[in-house]
Amino acid sequence: MAGSVYGDILKISTWGESHGEGLGVVVDGCPAGLKLSPDNIQEYMDRRRPGAIKYSTRRNEDDSIRILSGIFEGRTTGTPISMLVFNKDHRSADYSEIASYYRPGHADYTYDAKYGFRDYRGGGRSSGRETLGRVAAGAVAVKLLNELGISVRAYARSIGPIEADMADADMDYVSQSPVYMPDKEASDKAEAYLKEAAAGRDSVGGVVECVVSGLPAGIGDPVFDKFDANIAKAVMSIGAVKAVEIGDGLAASKVPGSQNNDSFCIKDGKVTKLTNHSGGVLGGISDGSDFILRAAFKPTPSIAKKQRTINKDNEEIEIEIKGRHDPVIVPRAVVVVESMTALAIADMILKRMSAEMEGVKRFYGKK
């Protein structure tokens, strides 16, 4: 209950510090018989790797994932899947300066307030590198969802004040965009904006949007474990996220009900909706439309600009943070948003199976 375990049926336990021996995750509760290879995981790991993205740190790590358990003859066995990455260059740096003060926007102060001391090497457990375990587990969840015809796709919706025009969106362009945007014009502008920020020793935030297609209606539980509530927690738990929107989100609060309600209709003999302002969820349960969420990321707190803060002796000082830092984390966060969304949904998909007696009886051959 100290915070590094997530999920009910599909339960993951992540571990590891930025500059410790390594990082990893144990996935318990993955159904047996899922075809899974290290390549399935590595593909996701590579998408969050520093080197893979232009505007991110140049730390030289290949983050090769090792799967140590839970797979036999290419399939999951139903027992825990342990995956890890060993850190490579974790012993070199000098952290005496960073250990002596509290960086604005970072968790230095709050970890000290909670635990009395902290592993200050590279941010320890509060480092963005912590997402490595999320993504490895997320790759498993995505594989599971894919087998059920469900896809999860995220991209940068905005970078700082530059927003993608979704009317011009080309999903195939996302992987070519250095900022993972689906709109070339906005992507170019965002790049220019980023360069300017970096030149000014500053940083930039943005918004990641994620779309889940192929989801059956009827997923999610009433009251506290609503589909969107579970997603909100999963996504808000990603470092630097400051807002989560579902469907029209904040905009829904500004318009009248007659405009926000989505009318049900029949298309090709199937129940659907004329619009999707709700983002695919009604009363906390999926309605069969695309599920849509947006996560707003604050700008990277590590900046080279001079800043005021205090040191461990409670003296007010001025600092300039040295070293390599992403001017933006949004592009690398895209795969993390996908991962957390997939983990939350896979868990709910598995829970759904016991929701009604007809299904239970059919499963046990009593119908």
Does 74 interact with a copy of itself (rule: CB under 8 A)?
Answer: no
Does 192 interact with a copy of itself (rule: CB under 8 A)?
Answer: no
Does 93 interact with a copy of itself (rule: CB under 8 A)?
Answer: no
| Shortest reach from residue 52's CB to a copy of itself, in Å | 22
Does 38 interact with a copy of itself (rule: CB under 8 A)?
Answer: no
Does 128 interact with a copy of itself (rule: CB under 8 A)?
Answer: no
Pick 136 or 176: Cβ nearer a copy of itself: 136
Pick 30 or 174: Cβ nearer a copy of itself: 30
Give the tokens for residue 325. 């830092």
Size of the site for a copy of itself (CB under 8 A): 166
Does 307 interact with a copy of itself (rule: CB under 8 A)?
Answer: yes
Residues 318-347 that bind a copy of itself (CB under 8 A): none
Interatomic CA distance for residues 342 and 142, integer angstroms: 6
Does 283 interact with a copy of itself (rule: CB under 8 A)?
Answer: yes
3-state secondary structure of 146: helix
Q: Would you tell me how many other CB atoms lie within 10 Å of the CB of residue 189?
A: 19
Residues 200-229 that bind a copy of itself (CB under 8 A): 200, 202-207, 216-226, 228-229
In 134-283, the DSSP E strands lie at 151-159, 162-163, 206-213, 241-246, 264-267, 270-273, 281-282
Cβ partners under 8 Å of residue 172, min gap 6: none
Does 161 interact with a copy of itself (rule: CB under 8 A)?
Answer: yes
Reduce the secondary structure of 219-252 to three states and give it as a string. Answer: CCCCHHHCHHHHHHHHHHCCCCEEEEEECCHHHH
| Shortest reach from residue 83's CB to a copy of itself, in Å | 10
Does 20 interact with a copy of itself (rule: CB under 8 A)?
Answer: yes
- What is residue 288's DSSP assignment? S
Of 178, 208, 182, nearest to 193 by C-alpha is: 178
Of 148, 166, 171, 192, the one binding a copy of itself (CB under 8 A) is 148
Give the tokens for residue 167. 């009317």
Does 95 interact with a copy of itself (rule: CB under 8 A)?
Answer: no
| Shortest reach from residue 60's CB to a copy of itself, in Å | 21
* Residue 191: C-alpha distances to residues 2, 47, 324 (Å): 39, 19, 19
Residues 234-263 that bind a copy of itself (CB under 8 A): 234-237, 239, 242-250, 252-258, 260-263
**φ, ψ at 239 (rounded to 5°):** -50, 140
